[in-house]
Amino acid sequence: MTETPETPEQPLVETADFDAFFAEQIPDRPRAALTLYGREHVLPDSLPLLFTLQMERVQHSSDPEDVRRMLATLFGEGTLDEWAEHGMTDRQLGVVLIWSAANIRNPGAVSMQRAAELYDQGEAGRAGKAPANRAERRASPKNPKKRKGKTQARSGARS
């Protein structure tokens, strides 16, 4: 076992105070707000890191708890349950999230109508993807290039 030699303590040049720096960086502009089911939600001045990280996770998750945590970072605890109780659809949730994300970054940048169009465009793009599960693959038309009963010749293999 080798020991590391002790060195005299080096003085710090200066402590970087990111708390003060980030406090100075808060944009001096109005924040966007939305009213949904009679309740006003004021959006933060920037997307919280937790929201961004959870968006990545939620894309591939079917766990409502993931969505619940993600929404709580923007709109407060209990939001998913409240909205679900009012009958919110998945499309409506998608439109609200698109509008919110765009208007956090730049208040007034995206209208509700434009957010709906963006959502619908995204859904149309996803509809063109390959079927995701076995039942969808079975229901989709067969590949016309494949011929039943015929196999491709392989290098070195007898046909």
Q: Across the 159 residues of the chain, what is the mean pLDDT of every consecutive 10-residue run?
A: 64 89 85 95 90 82 87 93 96 95 92 97 83 52 49 53
In a domain, 111, yes or no: yes
Query: DSSP 3-state assignment of 42?
Result: strand
Confirm whether 145 is domain-assigned.
no
**Domain assignment of residue 57, yes or no:** yes
Residue 124 sits in which domain range? 32-128
- Report the predicted TM-score, pTM, of the whole model to 2 decimal places: 0.66
Nearest-angstrom CA–CA distance, 123 and 68:
22
From the CA atom positions of the chain, what is the Rg in Å?
26
Domain assignment present for residue 159? The answer is: no
Confirm whether 58 is domain-assigned: yes
Q: What's the pLDDT score for residue 147?
A: 45
Residue type, 120: D
**Residue 83: predicted pLDDT:** 97
For the chain, the domain total comes to 1
Cβ pair 47, 105 in contact under 8 A: yes
Query: What residues pair up with 41 in beta bridges, in sequence order?
Result: 34
Residue 10 CA to residue 151 CA, distance in Å, equals 73
| Domain contains 64 | yes
113 in a structural domain: yes
pLDDT of residue 51: 86
Quick check: is 88 in a domain? yes
